């Protein structure tokens, strides 16, 4: 008999009732039954009994799991496609309509209490939800959020630990992810990036889509992915099925996913009479299938506020649009927002800061986006999120999909959304707005935008003039009259209201991008961002960078705006176009007939000053300038950067302190490099600065998480130090638990951080040990060192071009020309065989031994490892107050300790394996040459072989010296006179005319270790004070005495001539007041600043326990004297 739809339904019922595996046959049956029968099937599933027992009891328990262990414990149903998944979810919801109605009410109560910051009530509601509906992902996610905000990290971690211990499937990972997402130290963009990277490793795309949705609320619009998400909810609790279905419905209707739209609407029409969720009605309203958006006029209450108050009165509302309007009004009037500790007031205050600072408030926007993600199941969060993402958009008009999702989640009439509604519902909404809200500028403006007709707009005296102009510009944009947009917006670009300027600039840039060639857009984006750093997020920088291909850069090479836009992309997005930025930097100079940026002073009058300053400040840096062939090496690049800084001192006087500081730092770096050149360098190295930058970007957040866990009482170092001391004093082994794998979250996190740093130090291809092994040893150096002695004696040759055999040794063929041809050929063959054997030894060492140990390189001698005891040892140095730099330095020390062990292995290998192997090769060559030349003299060749062997042994000893820990690992030692000269040079780099006459008397002192930074700062302060206050012109007389005292103490006395004439700057009263500040210790409470007195800075460097005195002497001199304890290097 042919199977019909009804027959299929009956077959599925029979299979479920009779075949003994009801959940399995329900899974199979979903594919057989038509979606039109899903409602009947779902209703039957919820009630079907056999011998008085529910047939699908286990499945129903999964819909309402009473224990964490039962959450998602049932198998996921078979895949049936997106359309059927939509209908199945709706059928289950319909079959449990009364329960869903109850849940909708409870979730509404939960959101209301949350917005009023009543977190105890929130927990009570969640308790009711758990009692009536069981455990769910919705419950876990919201409870973690409430515990974090209401009771702190300890409470949410305790709850999460219970879930991780008892949960099944992906629940433990999700709980951990929710927990981490709520931690204060977690940053939104880094969290999203890391989670995406992690999930990208999954091989199952459907599971990846599901976890992306669960962890990040990322919802791809592809129909198959939507089906995958619903499919993975098929074994979820009813609450999760309902909330996910509603999420899907919003994405489909707002995003106009045509393949699913009809199915979703069919389901919503059926659900609307039974489920009192107003979002269903709003979705149907958007589609023109309902006349009621279930929204009302927002009534707000204001607290009393005096007219003299400097802050905005408190506006009580649960609608984020009101919070936004409050922030915008505060920005306009220059008044702050009263923060009363409630969630909504904190958000309004944050929005004010975001609107005021713009792109400079990215961290604040990130924090708020993280909040939206943590609170995503509450309607207000979806509205608030749309407002936040608008701050990251360069589109002149808001995204209609996000606007409609905001509409669905808004309980209040919102005239701003009128223009985004489809024609079928717009008029109805307009009438309701007029009926309940009355006339307003926003309503009239949005009606004009919806109709694309300004003639119908009637302005009122109360309307803001600039808002009307912006309305006209938006109308012109909607009509694609882009030239009109630019003309209309022009006066708004000069508005005193910073937000109006930015919004108008965004609309202008969008119009430029659609209407003209690239040049005007690039010019506008460049000038806008240079003038207002806070506008960056609203400018189409990414689009400009993508369009600046080789042809476009050639056409626009004469413009400063071209490299500036590429620099803006590099600084605010990623390094994708860094190569193009370097080219654009040089192309501009070439087009202007210049070779170096320091030559720009000759044409500065023809350039926009603000763009010139940006170009010099952010683009003319060594990393970018190195593309130019004009500069030969680092020294020339640094000198050019110094020249650029001098130009910046001239063109950007307001930031002179920044450039003076950079000049000092470059000068100091050059001095350090000079010292380093006098120190024997090891070939073992890593780029600590680059690795520190990497770690700061990738791991600092995790480190802050670790410190937060420490603060919460999770300390992996607990008891370790005491056990270590006890072990050392008593000679007993340490307890075994200190060597075992840590199981607590803090220890695991610390292990992961340390492992990441050690791993990066070891294998990073640009900055790690493997990179330097490759560059300094494997890539020709080792081969050259070992072959060099042999090549000097001409006993080794190179492979032929075919790489199969070695070239004949023409040198010795000529030298041995007196020998018989057969003897010469045999000698040559043995020399070729020796060359191959010798090179094979080198190749073996290079490719197998001088490698990082991996599965692919099991003979690698560099097995950089650490133990769990090492982790606990590192942990003893870290507490809640430790900086990430201090922790990073501890990890670097641990890395080098492990490398030290590897270097010992290398030395043993050289002595025990490599050296004997080479000797065997030499000895065999000698034996073979003797064997084939019996009766003939080869004395000269024999001597060359022995010489080469001896020199090769010496080369091996030199190679062993390569494998030492890098020295110096600190600043190189400097003579005291050198330190004085460096301090003076730092001043002279900034003030070139300052040329004092210095007389020094220095006790006999060895070179000083770790003194460069300290003394360059000390002498910079002293010399700069003399320059400023001596009033003796550019060449004052300065006397410096340095006396070595007992116990490693050094006394420094500096005197200089002064002019006591009126107005000279000499002020004995001020000097005495500074003395009192130092004597009473109050200087220690001041923060570091460039504006403080040099003498106080000098005391901070010297330290509170060291002697210091200063003042005017009777012989028209000013003196400073102090003592320091120095670490000396004994020569």
DSSP 53-77: EETTHHHHHHHS-SSGGGTT-SPPP
- Residue 309, pLDDT > 50, answer no
> How long a stretch of residues is the chain?
1131
- Residue 1097, pLDDT > 80, answer no
Mean pLDDT of the 12-17 span:
90
Mean pLDDT of the 1062-1074 span:
75
pLDDT of amino acid 262:
95
Dist. CA 179–CA 191, nearest whole Å:
12
pLDDT tens per residue across span 509-564: 999 999 778 999 999 999 999 999 999 999 999 999 999 999 999 999 999 999 99
Mean pLDDT check: name the lowest of 427-431, 586-590, 1014-1018: 1014-1018
- Residue 719, pLDDT > 90, answer no
For residue 968, whether the previous peptide bond is cis, meaning omega lies within 30 degrees of 0, is yes
Q: The dihedral of CA 435, 440, 443, 449: what is its sign?
A: positive
- Residue 403, pLDDT > 90, answer yes
Q: Domain for residue 1055, yes or no?
A: yes
1038: nearest Cα among 1066, 997, 987: 997
* In a shared domain, residues 11 and 146: no
Decide: helix, strand or coil at residue 856: coil
Dist. CA 741–CA 943, nearest whole Å:
60
464: nearest Cα among 441, 446, 493: 441
pLDDT of amino acid 742:
60
pLDDT tens per residue across span 1111-1122: 998 788 899 999
Mean pLDDT of the 33-53 span:
92
778: confidence class by pLDDT, cuts 50, 70, 90:
confident
DSSP conformational letter for 680: P
Dist. CA 425–CA 286, nearest whole Å:
6
pLDDT of amino acid 462:
66
Please give the span between the terminal C-alpha atoms of the chain, in angstroms, as a whole number.
104
Q: Domain for residue 253, yes or no?
A: yes
List phi, psi (to 5°) of 53. -110, 145
* In a shared domain, residues 742 and 710: yes
Mean pLDDT of the 310-318 span:
54
Nearest-5° angle of CA 774, CA 775, CA 778? 45
971: confidence class by pLDDT, cuts 50, 70, 90:
low
Percent of the chain scoring above 70 in pLDDT: 90
* In a shared domain, residues 1043 and 903: no
Cβ partners under 8 Å of residue 549, min gap 6: none
85: confidence class by pLDDT, cuts 50, 70, 90:
very high
Torsion, Cα 277 279 283 284, to 10 degrees, reads: 30
Q: How many domains does the chain have?
A: 5
Two structure tokens written together for 270: 């059926």
Among 277-281, 666-670, 863-867, 872-876, name the most confident range: 277-281
Residues forming beta bridges with residue 1113, ordered by sequence position: 1117
Boundary of a domain, candidates 412, 439, 461: 412
Decide: helix, strand or coil at residue 1110: strand
Q: Domain for residue 904, yes or no?
A: yes
pLDDT tens per residue across span 574-593: 889 999 999 999 999 999 99
* In a shared domain, residues 1035 and 1093: yes
304: confidence class by pLDDT, cuts 50, 70, 90:
very low
491: confidence class by pLDDT, cuts 50, 70, 90:
very high
Mean pLDDT of the 894-909 span:
94
Higher pLDDT, 4 or 905: 905
Find the radius of gyration of the CA atoms of the chain: 38
* In a shared domain, residues 270 and 302: no
Q: Domain for residue 1074, yes or no?
A: yes
Mean pLDDT of the 352-379 span:
93
Boundary of a domain, candidates 967, 1000, 1019: 967
Dist. CA 147–CA 831, nearest whole Å:
79
CATH number at residue 1013: 3.30.565.10
Two structure tokens written together for 544: 């400009």
- Residue 924, pLDDT > 80, answer yes
pLDDT of amino acid 958:
82
- Residue 149, pLDDT > 60, answer yes
pLDDT of amino acid 345:
81
- Residue 272, pLDDT > 90, answer yes
Higher pLDDT, 571 or 734: 571
* In a shared domain, residues 928 and 994: no
Mean pLDDT check: name the lowest of 150-159, 1065-1074, 1078-1087: 1078-1087
Q: Domain for residue 936, yes or no?
A: yes
pLDDT of amino acid 670:
78
pLDDT of amino acid 303:
39
- Residue 1047, pLDDT > 80, answer no
Q: How far is CA 464 from CA 1, 326, 332, in A?
A: 75, 16, 12
* In a shared domain, residues 262 and 384: no
1045: confidence class by pLDDT, cuts 50, 70, 90:
confident
Mean pLDDT of the 64-82 span:
94
Boundary of a domain, candidates 905, 933, 967: 967
890: nearest Cα among 1126, 703, 701, 1024: 703
743: confidence class by pLDDT, cuts 50, 70, 90:
low
Mean pLDDT check: name the lowest of 10-19, 300-309, 774-783: 300-309
pLDDT of amino acid 795:
93
* In a shared domain, residues 216 and 308: no
pLDDT of amino acid 221:
73
Q: Quickly list DSSP for 1052-1090.
A: EEEEEE---STTSS--HHHHHHHHHHHHTTGGGGSPP-T
Ramachandran quadrant class, 1001 (left: phi over 0; alpha: psi -120 to 50; beta: rest): beta
1130: confidence class by pLDDT, cuts 50, 70, 90:
very low
* In a shared domain, residues 804 and 883: yes
pLDDT of amino acid 603:
94
| Domain around 1101 | 978-1125
Two structure tokens written together for 468: 């009307």
- Residue 230, pLDDT > 90, answer yes
Q: Domain for residue 334, yes or no?
A: yes
* In a shared domain, residues 157 and 23: no
Q: CB–CB of 1058/1117 below 8 Å?
A: yes
Average pLDDT over all residues of the chain? 86
573: nearest Cα among 544, 525, 541: 541
Mean pLDDT of the 179-196 span:
93
Please, is 381 exposed, middle or buried when counting C-beta atoms within 10 Å of its C-beta (0-12, 13-18, 19+)? buried
pLDDT of amino acid 47:
92
DSSP conformational letter for 718: T
Q: CB–CB of 1029/1065 below 8 Å?
A: yes
Percent of the chain scoring above 90 in pLDDT: 54
Q: Quickly list DSSP for 335-404.
A: -EEPP-SSHHHHHHHHHHHHHHHGGGGHHHHHHHHHHHHHTTTSHHHHHHHHHHHHTT---SS--HHHHH
Mean pLDDT of the 254-275 span:
93
* In a shared domain, residues 958 and 994: no
Q: Report the 10 Å Cβ neighbour count for 573.
A: 13
Dist. CA 299–CA 313, nearest whole Å:
16
Dist. CA 13–CA 55, nearest whole Å:
10
pLDDT of amino acid 682:
57
Q: Domain for residue 960, yes or no?
A: yes
Q: Domain for residue 823, yes or no?
A: yes
pLDDT tens per residue across span 792-830: 899 999 888 666 789 999 999 988 887 888 899 999 999
* In a shared domain, residues 961 and 991: no
DSSP conformational letter for 1002: E
């Amino acid at each position: 008999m042919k199977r019909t739809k009804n027959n299929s339904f009956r077959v599925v019922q029979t299979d479920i009732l009779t075949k003994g595996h009801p959940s399995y046959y329900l899974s199979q049956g979903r594919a057989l039954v038509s979606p039109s029968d899903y409602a009947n099937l779902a209703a039957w599933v919820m009630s079907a009994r056999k011998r008085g027992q529910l047939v699908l009891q286990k499945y129903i328990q999964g819909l309402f799991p009473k224990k964490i262990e039962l959450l998602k414990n049932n198998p996921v149903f078979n895949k049936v496609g997106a359309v059927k998944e939509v209908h199945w979810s709706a059928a289950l919801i319909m079959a449990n309509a009364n329960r869903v109605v109850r849940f909708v009410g409870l979730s509404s109560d939960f959101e209301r209490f949350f917005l009023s910051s009543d977190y105890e009530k929130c927990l009570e509601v969640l308790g009711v939800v758990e009692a009536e509906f069981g455990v769910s992902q919705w419950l876990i996610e919201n409870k973690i959020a409430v515990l974090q905000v209401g009771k702190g990290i300890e409470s949410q971690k305790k709850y999460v630990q219970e879930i991780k211990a008892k949960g099944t499937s992906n629940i433990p990972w999700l709980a951990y992810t929710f927990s981490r997402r709520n931690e204060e130290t977690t940053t939104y963009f880094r969290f999203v990036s890391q989670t995406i990277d992690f999930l990208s490793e999954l091989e199952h795309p459907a599971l990846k889509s599901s976890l992306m949705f669960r962890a990040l609320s990322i919802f791809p619009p592809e129909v198959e992915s939507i089906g995958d998400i619903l499919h993975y909810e098929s074994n979820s609790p009813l609450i999760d099925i309902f909330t996910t279905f509603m999420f899907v419905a919003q994405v489909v209707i707002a995003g106009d996913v045509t393949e699913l739209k009809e199915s979703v609407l069919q389901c919503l029409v059926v659900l609307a009479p039974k489920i009192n969720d107003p979002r269903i009605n709003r979705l149907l309203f958007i589609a023109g299938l309902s006349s009621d958006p279930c929204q009302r006029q927002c009534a707000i209450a204001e607290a009393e506020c005096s007219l003299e108050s400097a802050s905005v009165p408190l506006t009580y509302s649960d609608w984020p649009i009101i919070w936004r309007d409050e922030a915008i009004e505060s920005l306009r009037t220059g008044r702050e927002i009263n923060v009363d500790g409630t969630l909504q007031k904190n958000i309004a205050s944050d929005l004010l800061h975001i609107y005021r600072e713009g792109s400079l408030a990215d961290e604040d926007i990130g924090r708020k986006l993280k909040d939206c993600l943590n609170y995503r199941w509450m309607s207000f969060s979806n509205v608030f999120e749309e407002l936040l993402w608008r701050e990251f958009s360069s589109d002149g008009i808001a995204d209609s999909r996000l606007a409609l999702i905001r509409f669905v989640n808004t309980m209040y009439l919102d005239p701003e959304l009128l223009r985004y509604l489809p024609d079928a519902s717009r008029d109805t909404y307009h009438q309701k707005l007029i009926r309940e809200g009355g006339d307003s500028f926003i309503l009239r403006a949005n009606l004009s935008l919806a109709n694309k007709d300004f003639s119908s707009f009637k302005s009122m005296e109360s309307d803001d003039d600039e808002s009307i102009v912006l309305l006209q510009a938006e109308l012109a944009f909607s009509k694609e009259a882009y030239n009109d947009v630019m003309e209309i917006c022009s006066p708004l670009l000069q508005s005193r209201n910073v937000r109006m300027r930015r919004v108008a600039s965004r609309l202008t840039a969008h119009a430029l991008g659609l209407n003209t060639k690239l040049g005007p857009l690039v010019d506008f984006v460049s000038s806008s961002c240079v003038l207002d750093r806070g506008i960056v997020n609203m400018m189409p920088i990414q689009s400009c960078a993508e369009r600046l291909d080789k042809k476009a850069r050639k056409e626009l090479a004469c413009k400063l705006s071209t490299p500036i836009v590429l620099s803006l992309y590099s600084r605010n997005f990623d390094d994708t176009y860094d190569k193009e930025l370097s080219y654009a930097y040089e192309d501009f100079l070439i087009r202007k007939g210049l070779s170096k940026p320091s030559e720009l002073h000759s044409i500065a009058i023809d350039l926009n000053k603000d763009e010139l300053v940006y170009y010099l400040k952010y683009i003319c840096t060594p990393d970018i300038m190195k593309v130019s062939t004009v500069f030969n090496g680092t020294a020339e690049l640094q000198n050019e950067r110094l020249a650029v800084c001098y130009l910046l001192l001239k063109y950007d006087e307001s930031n002179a302190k920044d450039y003076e500081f950079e000049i000092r730092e470059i000068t100091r770096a050059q001095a350090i490099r000079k010292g380093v050149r006098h120190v024997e360098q090891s070939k073992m190295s890593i780029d600590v600065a680059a690795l520190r930058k990497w770690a700061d970007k990738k791991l600092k957040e995790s480190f802050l998480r670790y410190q937060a866990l420490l603060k919460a009482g999770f300390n992996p170092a607990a008891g370790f130090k005491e056990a270590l001391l006890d072990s050392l004093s008593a000679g007993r082994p340490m307890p075994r638990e200190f060597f075992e794998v840590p199981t607590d979250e803090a220890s695991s996190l610390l292990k992961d951080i340390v492992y990441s740093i050690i791993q990066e130090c070891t294998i990073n291809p640009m900055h790690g040990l493997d990179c330097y092994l490759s560059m300094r040893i494997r890539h020709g150096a080792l081969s050259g060192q070992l072959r060099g002695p042999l090549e000097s004696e001409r006993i080794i040759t190179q492979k032929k071009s075919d790489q199969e055999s070695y070239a004949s040794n023409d040198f010795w063929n000529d030298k041995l020309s007196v020998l018989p041809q057969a003897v010469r050929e045999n000698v040559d063959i043995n020399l070729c065989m020796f060359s191959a054997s010798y090179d094979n030894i080198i190749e073996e060492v290079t490719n197998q031994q001088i490698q990082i140990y991996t599965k692919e390189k099991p003979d690698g001698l560099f097995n950089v490892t650490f133990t769990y005891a090492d982790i606990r040892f590192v942990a003893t140095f870290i507490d809640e107050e430790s900086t990430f730099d201090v922790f990073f330095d501890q990890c670097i020390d641990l890395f080098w300790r492990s490398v030290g062990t590897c270097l010992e292995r290398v030395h043993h290998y050289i002595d025990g394996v490599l050296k004997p192997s080479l000797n065997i090769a030499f000895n065999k060559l000698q034996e073979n040459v003797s064997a084939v030349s019996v009766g003939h003299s080869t004395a000269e060749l024999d001597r060359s072989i022995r010489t080469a062997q001896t020199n090769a042994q010496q080369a091996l000893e030199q190679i062993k010296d390569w494998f030492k820990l890098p020295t110096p690992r600190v600043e190189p030692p400097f003579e005291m006179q050198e330190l004085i000269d460096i301090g003076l040079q730092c001043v002279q780099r900034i003030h070139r005319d300052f040329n004092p006459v210095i007389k020094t008397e220095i006790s006999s002192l060895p070179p000083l270790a770790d003194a460069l930074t300290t003394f360059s700062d000390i002498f910079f302060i002293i010399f700069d004070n003399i320059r400023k206050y001596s009033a003796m012109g550019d060449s004052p007389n300065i006397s410096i005495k340095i006396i070595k005292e007992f116990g490693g103490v050094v006394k420094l006395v500096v005197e200089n001539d002064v002019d006591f004439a009126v107005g000279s700057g000499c002020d004995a009263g001020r000097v005495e007041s500074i003395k009192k500040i130092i004597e009473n210790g109050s200087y220690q409470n001041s923060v570091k600043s460039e504006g403080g007195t040099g003498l106080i800075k000098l005391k901070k460097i010297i330290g509170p326990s060291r002697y210091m005195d200063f003042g005017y002497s009777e012989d028209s001199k000013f003196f400073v004297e102090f003592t320091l304890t120095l670490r000396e290097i004994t020569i």
